[in-house]
């Protein structure tokens, strides 16, 4: 999931009674909810290195043991130093460790929910796992967690600046990648601002109770999407049985932005990648795109692509590889894309370019 969702989860937990169990509890919960994303530093070595490394070592079972312990130790040391300078709430080492483990665990659990996937078993097995249930940037989660965290708080200058910075960054990211969803983002921003500015009557709301209610509601929302994804995949398989005599070799039913009643369908069948949409409205319908994309792993070039050693990060991560080729002076240029995210030849995220020697023949 995106950093805002992880941060809101940690902040929501910190706003409940858990955040008052010990000195340093809030810091452990907020930092822990984001800590596995320390692997973002791998982008320094290049986007392909990052693609092969992220959601692995810092998200797997070994990290889930080591990272919380390190976090609890650091928070304990910091709080101990602060306690020497001024009178502070007592430090409970047990609670610090428990809250650190809880916070860090929320991170891979959320990352598993989307189609990007994560590797629970790293570093012991490099196997990707996919929940395919929640879009990587879900505005409904922002709304639920953000409103419940802000409601009843005093609208300080710091909170208003935080709101403005978060909204500005999201506008930049969403505007660059999916500008059609900017109205949705602006709607969420307005609701969050209203939750911050509106002041309920004195004593009518407890920030702790509202935050816990929001966290529980967010969990119920996620569980609902997991169940809906399973039901949608089952229904899609039934529809496939009616429409085609061929069994799909690989199938993904994943979320789309904003609308939980519409699901993205990606299928490998008979050497091709196909895309469709399933909508639950009007009794449910499965509509396919007319485009057929050539599945790369059925290509005569696939073994040579793997042996070339090019774009190793992409090759470790790709789930529905498809390709286009062209002859160049040095041999064959292969445009390799992942059908989860790329439907036309492209460069950048979800795509790689592989150059093969002259002896190779385009498919």
Tens digit of pLDDT for each residue in 260-281? 999 999 999 888 999 999 999 8
- The confidence score (pLDDT) of residue 195 equals 84
- The confidence score (pLDDT) of residue 65 equals 96
* 347 pLDDT above the threshold of 90: no
DSSP string, 48-82: HHHHHHTTTTTTSHHHHHHHHHHHHHHHHHHHHHH
Q: In this predicted model, what pLDDT tens digit does every residue of 82-135 receive, in sequence order?
A: 777 666 677 889 999 999 999 999 999 999 999 999 999 999 999 999 999 999
For residue 6, the surrounding DSSP H or E stretch is helix 3-15
- The confidence score (pLDDT) of residue 154 equals 79
- The confidence score (pLDDT) of residue 203 equals 56
What's the pLDDT band for 214 if we cut at 50, 70, 90? very high
Q: Output the average pLDDT for the chain.
A: 90
* 72 pLDDT above the threshold of 60: yes
- The confidence score (pLDDT) of residue 273 equals 94
* 257 pLDDT above the threshold of 60: yes
In angstroms, the CA 280 to CA 219 distance is 22
- The confidence score (pLDDT) of residue 360 equals 59
* 359 pLDDT above the threshold of 80: no
In angstroms, the CA 181 to CA 135 distance is 13
- The confidence score (pLDDT) of residue 87 equals 61
* 201 pLDDT above the threshold of 60: no
* 202 pLDDT above the threshold of 60: no
In angstroms, the CA 306 to CA 316 distance is 10
In angstroms, the CA 151 to CA 210 distance is 7
For the chain, give the percent of residues with pLDDT over 70.
94
- The confidence score (pLDDT) of residue 194 equals 87
In angstroms, the CA 228 to CA 233 distance is 9
Alpha helices in 16-156 (DSSP H): 25-34, 47-53, 61-85, 93-112, 139-150
Residues 309-326: what's their mean pLDDT? 95
More confident residue, 81 or 337: 337
pTM for this model (two decimals): 0.91
Q: Which long-range contacts (CB under 8 A, 24 or more apart) does 150-158 make?
A: 150/192, 150/195, 150/196, 151/195, 151/198, 151/200, 151/205, 151/207, 151/210, 152/200, 152/205, 152/206, 152/207, 152/210, 153/196, 153/207, 155/196, 155/197
In angstroms, the CA 26 to CA 78 distance is 13
More confident residue, 157 or 316: 316
- The confidence score (pLDDT) of residue 176 equals 74
* 363 pLDDT above the threshold of 70: no
What's the pLDDT band for 217 if we cut at 50, 70, 90? very high
What's the pLDDT band for 70 if we cut at 50, 70, 90? very high
In angstroms, the CA 134 to CA 80 distance is 40
- The confidence score (pLDDT) of residue 173 equals 79
In angstroms, the CA 143 to CA 150 distance is 10
Q: In this predicted model, what pLDDT tens digit does every residue of 134-185 receive, in sequence order?
A: 999 999 999 999 998 888 777 888 888 888 888 888 888 777 777 788 888 8
23-32, 117-126, 248-257: the lowest-pLDDT one: 248-257
Residues 226-233: what's their mean pLDDT? 96
Tokens for 158, please give them.
Answer: 């710091």
- The confidence score (pLDDT) of residue 47 equals 92
Give every CB contact of residue 43 below 8 A, 6+ residues apart in sequence. Answer: 49, 50
Q: Is 354 helix (H, G, I), strand (E, B) or coil?
A: strand
């Amino acid at each position: 999931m995106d950093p805002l969702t992880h941060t809101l989860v940690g902040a929501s937990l910190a706003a409940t009674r858990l955040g008052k169990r010990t000195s340093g509890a809030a810091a452990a919960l907020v930092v822990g909810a984001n800590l596995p994303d320390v692997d973002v530093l791998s982008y320094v070595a290049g986007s392909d290195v990052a693609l092969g490394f992220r959601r692995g070592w810092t998200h797997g079972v070994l990290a889930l043991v080591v990272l919380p312990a390190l976090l609890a130790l650091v928070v304990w040391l910091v709080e101990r130093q602060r306690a020497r300078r001024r009178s502070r709430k007592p430090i409970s080492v047990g609670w610090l460790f428990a809250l650190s483990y809880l916070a860090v665990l929320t991170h891979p659990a959320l990352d598993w929910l989307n189609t990007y996937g994560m590797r629970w078993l790293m570093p012991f097995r490099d196997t990707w796992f996919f929940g395919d249930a929640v879009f990587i940037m879900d505005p409904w989660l922002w709304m639920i967690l953000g409103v419940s965290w802000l409601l009843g708080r005093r609208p300080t200058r710091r909170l208003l600046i935080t709101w403005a910075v978060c909204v500005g960054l999201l506008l930049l990211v969403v505007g660059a990648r999916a500008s059609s969803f900017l109205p949705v983002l602006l709607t969420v921003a307005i609701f969050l601002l209203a939750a911050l500015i509106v002041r309920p009557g004195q004593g009518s709301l407890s920030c702790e109770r509202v935050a816990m209610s929001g966290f529980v509601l967010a969990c119920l929302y996620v569980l609902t999407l997991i169940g809906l994804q399973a039901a949608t995949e089952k229904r899609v398989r039934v529809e496939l049985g009616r429409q085609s005599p061929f069994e799909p070799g690989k199938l993904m039913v994943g979320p789309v932005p904003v609308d939980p009643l519409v699901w993205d369908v990606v299928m490998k069948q008979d050497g091709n990648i196909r895309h469709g949409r399933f909508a639950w409205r009007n009794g449910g319908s499965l509509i396919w795109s007319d485009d057929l994309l050539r599945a790369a792993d059925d290509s005569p070039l696939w073994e040579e692509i793997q042996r070339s050693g090019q774009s190793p990060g992409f090759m470790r991560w790709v789930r529905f590889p498809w390709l286009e080729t062209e002859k160049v002076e040095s041999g064959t240029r292969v445009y390799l894309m992942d059908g989860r995210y790329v439907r036309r030849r492209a460069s950048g995220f979800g795509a790689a370019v592989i150059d093969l020697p002259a002896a190779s023949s385009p498919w």
